[in-house]
Amino acid sequence: MSALDRRTFLGRGLATAGGALASGIAIDTLGAHAAWAETGRTPPDPRRVGYGPLRRTPSRNTGEELLALPAGFSYVVLGRTGTPMSDGVATPIAHDGMAAFPGTRRHTVRLIRNHEVRTPPGSPLGRVHVPGSARYDELGVGGTTTLEVDPRSGEVVRHFVSLNGTIINCAGGRMLHERGWLTCEETTAGPAQGWQRKHGYVFEVPLNGPVPGRPAASMPLTAMGRFSHEAVAVDPRTGYVYETEDDSGKPDGFYRFRPRDPRNLAAGGVLEMLKIEGVDGYDCREGQRMGARLPVEWVTIDDPDPDLEGGAATCTQQGLAKGGAKFNRLEGCWYGDGSVFFNSTSGGDAKNGDAPGADGYREGYGQVWRYVPGRGRGGTLVLVYESPGRKELDSPDNLTFTPRGGIVLCEDDASSVDADPHPLAPGLANVNRLIGLDPRGGQPFELAVNIADDSEFAGACFSPDGSTLFANQLGSTAELDPPGRTYAIRGPWSRGPL
């Protein structure tokens, strides 16, 4: 890894004792984890993996039992739905993707958080909205909020709307050189669905600039594609932006955007879809072998901003028509060690029992992929992990690499024929967890369990100093209850693998 790569990696909040090996260890973790499942060997005793058994734990600042955590760990609740913010706006619903940056004050952290609001156009219920601000769509209900927090005390120094006028802001990724957050719309809705403008785009949220009462102007980056976006990751060496697609029930593509000017994404560029070299329509969703290296080429999306209202071919249809590879529900995306890692939430051979999609594909429990960019060539795609069943990992969404080389995966098991109860969460049929992967042997372990409701975990990210894991509980995307919450989790990280 070059000096630039290492600086970039450590600059993402992973600079701790031993952090210089973090990304490489994390890759080894995925490989070891895959080996247990592939060989059928008996994994290590779960009691000796991770941080030990979990217990129902009350929040330090509210007293509510919302999470189950290992002994010695604690958490505070930040930015609960309905809480008045510094700009006078009530904290919106549907807390989703998020990133952590150094704060403007000593010991503080700045969080930029998505809100996947799915209410009708213009609905006031849980809306991300600042009257009179520069909004792309006057009826937009989604957007982002920014929180300046002190993770030691749990104090929210200030919080405010940082972008509005968008819809269904699901995940995203950090901008080049940590200049801010790229927030993504997980939809292709438009005027036909009651909105004033077309949607399905990526938007920029600058780290500096938005202040209480003055959100950033929401301007779509149309050249980056109009499709059901999930997350992005930026390669710091090239400025290329890698994008995942999550259009449930249909084959999805993995994209890259080659900007004309990496510092100015609005200047345009070329959108492409991944294709397995020499094979049209390669199906990555099932029948794959972990560790196999698949050579990659890229096909151009000729019309990245299609007139879907006029019947134009979608970005996905364009890419698949040129032989693009098929995935299922691509979600979390992360750059490290010169590679891009991304989750296929419902890929894999072990099936969850849900009804098949429109093309007959039956959902699996999830896959983790690694794309290694090529030097002058298309690169290589590797399946580094595939879940054998719900107990080990059920529907991975966001992912993050940790300060000391572990991995945290956010589960998004919203519903399934295969119920997923948990002894620490009686009464819940589909329980979501934060799953850690131990770099010492690749064994998965439960790091946290949402015992409050059945909504997904999202937005996991570490503070720049590595002391605090932030994570969101989505809550409802269309109602005030259950509420969205942001957690700041602290504990004896050095006693375990993360």
pTM attached to this predicted model: 0.92
User: What is the pLDDT, as a whole number, of residue 47?
Assistant: 52
Q: Tens of pLDDT along 225-237?
A: 999 999 999 999 9
Give yes or no for a contact between 495 and 72, defined as CB atoms under 8 angstroms apart: yes
State the residue range of the domain holding 149: 3-307+315-495
| pLDDT surpassing 60 at residue 15 | no
Please give the pLDDT value at position 271.
98
With a CB cutoff of 8 Å and minimum separation 6, the contacts of 488 are 75, 76, 78, 149, 151, 154, 468, 469, 470
Rounded average pLDDT over 328-353: 93
Q: How far is CA 322 from CA 269, 295, 300, 315, in A?
A: 19, 16, 8, 11
Q: Which has more confidence, 10 or 75?
A: 75
- CA separation for the pair 90, 113 (Å, rounded): 14
Question: For residues 313, 315, 316 and 321, what is the CA-based torsion angle, rounded to 10 degrees?
Answer: 60
Distance, CA of 63 to CA of 313 (rounded, Å): 52
Spatial contact of 15 and 7, defined as CB atoms under 8 Å apart: no
3-state helix vs strand vs coil in the chain, percent to 5: 10, 35, 50
Q: What is the pLDDT of residues 440-491, one digit of tens each?
A: 666 789 999 999 999 999 999 999 999 999 999 999 999 999 999 999 999 9
Residue 68 and residue 190: Cα distance in Å, rounded? 41
**Tokens for 128?**
């991300």
- Report d(CA 42, CA 62) in Å as an integer: 41
Vertex 488, ends 167 and 483: CA angle to 5°? Answer: 45
**What CATH number corresponds to the domain at position 399?**
2.120.10.30
Whole-angstrom distance, CA of residue 302 vs CA of residue 222 = 13
CA distance 245 to 202: 12
CA pair distance 217, 136, nearest whole angstrom: 8
Count up the domains in the chain and report the number: 1
Please state the rounded mean pLDDT for residues 61-68.
97
Return the structure tokens found at 162. Answer: 């940082």
Closest to 173 measured CA to CA, from 12, 7, 403:
12
Residue 32: strand, helix, or coil? helix
Quick one: tokens of 33?
């984890």
As a whole number of angstroms, the distance between CA 243 and CA 321 comes to 19
Q: What is the pLDDT of residue 101?
A: 96
What is the structure's pLDDT at 403? Answer: 79
Q: What's the pLDDT tens digit per position in 185-219?
A: 999 999 999 999 999 999 999 999 999 999 999 99
Query: What percent of the chain stands above pLDDT 70?
Result: 89
Per residue in 126-152, pLDDT (tens digit) is 999 999 999 999 999 999 999 999 988
**CA-wise closest residue to 331 among 345, 352, 346, 341:** 345
